[in-house]
Amino acid sequence: MGIGHSIPWAGHLAFQKSLNRIANRFVWPAMYTQLKEFCASCEICQLTAPQGVARAPLQPLPLIETPFDRIGMDIVGPLEKSSSGHKYILVICDYATRYPEAFPLRSVKARQIANCLIQLFSRVGIPKEILTDCGTNFLSKLLKQVYSLLGVKGIKTTPYHPQTDGLVERFNQTLKTMLRKFVSETGADWDQWLPYLLFAYREVPQASTGFSPFELLYGRQVRGPLDLLKDYWEKPVTDKDNVVSYVLKMRERLERMSTLAQE
């Protein structure tokens, strides 16, 4: 249960998402009750859970069927400055698959945002539409030129109805909650956790689609830490202690990998 909920690759997500992740690989008696109690008793989740924060509702927009035809974009921050000098996060969400991207930024200058967009476009292609709020960093001449050169239509939310971009707003809240949990637990810089927490979010099915963002984008389930455990569990085992030993070693290995990646 710890591998399915508490490690960076799992993200300390809420009970339902943790259940979805684990139930796709394992089933055991009283699993629902045990996992619910495990998540409810998680000290990190109790200390960092947002209190009374209402989720931004999704407003009706034309349905998008092709991945990355329309993306939403927003800035999270300023946050506590990391040792790498990052203070902001550029958050991007795909409307068709709910697949998120997040880029740490030192500033919110248009040139840095444009560089992140080029990185994204090189992986997933050029979108037809980009939905943003009316922040000055998204209304710059440089970004307008990028949009014009690439044939991208910019869509603005109104100042009085930012919930039109509710998909991005909801992911922002989830990401900030996940970051708080791991920074609180380890004291490490927040930007070091972004790759792991993005993996955790992309791996689990979304209530709005019934599929994980990774599955909708790539057409298959992502292979994660629980799959490694499942593969080992299904092998013939002569010594029951071997399984327990393997679980402990795998968790230690994943934590060590996270530490090495941060150095």
Q: Percent of the chain scored above 70 by pLDDT?
A: 71
pLDDT of residue 76: 94
Q: Parallel, antiparallel, or unpaired for β 70-76 and 88-94?
A: antiparallel
Residue of 200 and 122 predicted with greater confidence = 122
What CATH homologous superfamily does 55-220 map to? Ribonuclease H-like superfamily/Ribonuclease H (3.30.420.10)
Per-residue pLDDT tens digits for 8-55: 655 566 777 777 777 767 777 777 777 777 777 776 666 656 555 455
Confirm if 186 and 66 have CB atoms less than 8 A apart. no
Residues 6+ apart with CB under 8 A from 68: 94, 96, 97, 99, 124, 125, 127
pLDDT of residue 262: 45
pLDDT of residue 261: 45
pLDDT of residue 101: 97
* CA end-to-end distance (rounded Å), the chain: 28
Residue of 112 and 243 predicted with greater confidence = 112
pLDDT of residue 129: 94
Mapped onto helix, strand or coil, the DSSP state of residue 89 is: strand
Confirm if 99 and 211 have CB atoms less than 8 A apart. no
Instruction: Give me the DSSP letters along 37-60.
Output: HHHHT-HHHHHH--SS-PPPPPPP
Mapped onto helix, strand or coil, the DSSP state of residue 190 is: helix
Per-residue pLDDT tens digits for 184-234: 666 668 898 898 889 889 988 888 888 899 999 999 988 887 777 777 777
pLDDT band at 58; cut points 50, 70, 90: very low
Per-residue pLDDT tens digits for 146-173: 999 999 999 987 654 444 568 898 899 9
